[in-house]
Amino acid sequence: MQQYPSILLTRAVDEFSKLPGIGPKTALRLVLHMLRQEPQSADNLATALTELCHGVKYCSVCHNISDNERCDICSNPKRDNTTVCVVENIRDVMAIENTQQYRGLYHVLGGVISPMDGVGPSDLEIASLQQRVEQDNIKEVILALSPTMEGDATNFYIFRRLAPLKVSVSVIARGIAQNDELQYADEVTLGRSIINRTPFKN
Amino acid sequence: MQQYPSILLTRAVDEFSKLPGIGPKTALRLVLHMLRQEPQSADNLATALTELCHGVKYCSVCHNISDNERCDICSNPKRDNTTVCVVENIRDVMAIENTQQYRGLYHVLGGVISPMDGVGPSDLEIASLQQRVEQDNIKEVILALSPTMEGDATNFYIFRRLAPLKVSVSVIARGIAQNDELQYADEVTLGRSIINRTPFKN
């Protein structure tokens, strides 16, 4: 166990080491970097963190992170409010927004069904999704969850729950990624990309 | 430029991105991790950081980081107070302490002379080292700076400044590192390790 020459230093390094992917050595490097800066920059980081963690709000409609009761996407009248894209977390919202290919709304589940991790349907925002579809005149639900076993199970569960409602459910295309080499693609992906081939368009 | 859905989130990510080796993606990952924890853990990190950066003290003797006016090493009566090891920064102190091979005191310079980075002798704790040697009955000064051009220049500068005083100046051994392969060692290192060969001891 590394001994640090100061209790304050030890405490700061310990707290930084709790962050994912940051070990004691990196934590020490970061803390010593902060020490070389003006104390103001430590204050800025500290304030930003506490303000975020105490003041964070989530959109009451789509559960995306937001500064207001309703997020900017849900309250934007230019967005197509008949389409809802279901994603796991807010990072996926950002990733899809970055593509600039989607003009509908989102619904952040907060994860996927995973019995191994003790995450069941009631831990996710699935009931609120069903409610939205029932009340908000949603025409299409796009499932954009991770292409894993848990994601597939969640897709299937949501599909079953929405089946009695008048809504079309689609899932994002899976296939060979841009610039991937065919010979290195796994068999499931390559097989599906042949089954789900699309008409050639110029 | 990535758009974040919340100003508080943007600010926290920006502050984290200012840390060395942490880009916007890692910063976002860290911030979202903090959001999933209790707000208390963000408070802990924030408090540890501000307390450190505002309350940090440096030992008045060796300039190592310390909780008191005099650090634990300088105030330890069991340490040999006639030997001073000159290092660049507090990380080097920790590294040498970890070897458990050194029982003397330290002197933290705060860097090395580097005209390219605008660091001259007056920016470092060299005058205070000279003062310690003059006043504190120091018998040996061990130079343990980086084996770089800047480190060598600083070694030489300190050696010249201490030359009129009655103190022996030594420099840590340079040579082949444990488990290094000879064929991959650079010529300067290998050449020196032959010149500075030591009597074989069992």
Q: Which residues in chain B are classed under CATH 3.40.1360.10?
A: 70-199
pLDDT score of A81 more than 70 = yes
Cβ distance A52 to B34 less than 8 Å, yes or no, reads yes
Least Cα separation, residue A202 to chain B (angstroms): 31
A42 vs B contacts (CB less than 8 Å):
49-50, 52-54
Q: Scanning the structure block, which residue is given the tokens 């300039």?
A: B63
Nearest to B41 among A18, A45, A73 (CB): A18
What digits encode the pLDDT tens for the residues A151-187? 999 999 999 999 999 899 999 988 888 888 888 888 8
Nearest to B5 among A43, A52, A65 (CB): A65
What digits encode the pLDDT tens for the residues A26-73? 999 999 999 888 889 999 999 999 999 898 889 999 999 998 899 999
Mean pLDDT of residues grouped by 10 in chain B (202 residues)? 83 93 91 89 92 90 91 93 93 91 94 92 94 92 92 94 92 87 86 85 74
Which CATH architecture describes the domain B7-55? Orthogonal Bundle (1.10)
Q: Which residues in chain B are classed under CATH 1.10.8.420?
A: 7-55
pLDDT score of A2 more than 80 = no
Cβ distance A19 to B30 less than 8 Å, yes or no, reads yes
**A52 to A18, A67, A124: CA distances (angstroms):** 18, 10, 22
CATH annotation of A70-199: 3.40.1360.10
Q: What is the predicted pLDDT for the residue at A145? A: 93
For residue A1, what pLDDT band results from cuts at 50, 70 and 90?
A: low
Cβ distance A67 to B8 less than 8 Å, yes or no, reads yes
The number of residues in chain B equals: 202
What digits encode the pLDDT tens for the residues B89-146? 998 999 999 899 999 999 999 999 999 999 999 999 999 999 999 999 899 999 999 9
Q: What is the predicted pLDDT for the residue at B153? A: 93
Q: What's the whole-number mean pLDDT along residues A137-148?
A: 92
Residue to mutate among B19, B58, B71, with most A CBs inside 10 A, is B19
In angstroms, the CA A65 to CA A67 distance is 7
Nearest to B5 among A8, A44, A64 (CB): A64
For A77, list phi and psi in degrees, rounded to 5.
-70, -15
Q: Please give the full DSSP string across chain B, using - where no structure is assigned.
A: -PPPS-HHHHHHHHHHHTSTT--HHHHHHHHHHHHHS-HHHHHHHHHHHHHHHHH-EE-TTT--EESSSS-TTTT-TTSEEEEEEEESSHHHHHHHHHHT---EEEEE-SS--BGGGTB-GGGTTHHHHHHHHHHTT--EEEE---SSHHHHHHHHHHHHHHTTSS-EEEE---SPPTT--GGGS-HHHHHHHHHT------
Q: What is the predicted pLDDT for the residue at B1? A: 63
CB pairs under 8 A between A and B: 166
Least Cα separation, residue A158 to chain B (angstroms): 24
In angstroms, the CA A173 to CA A171 distance is 6
Residue to mutate among A19, A22, A32, A119, with most B CBs inside 10 A, is A19
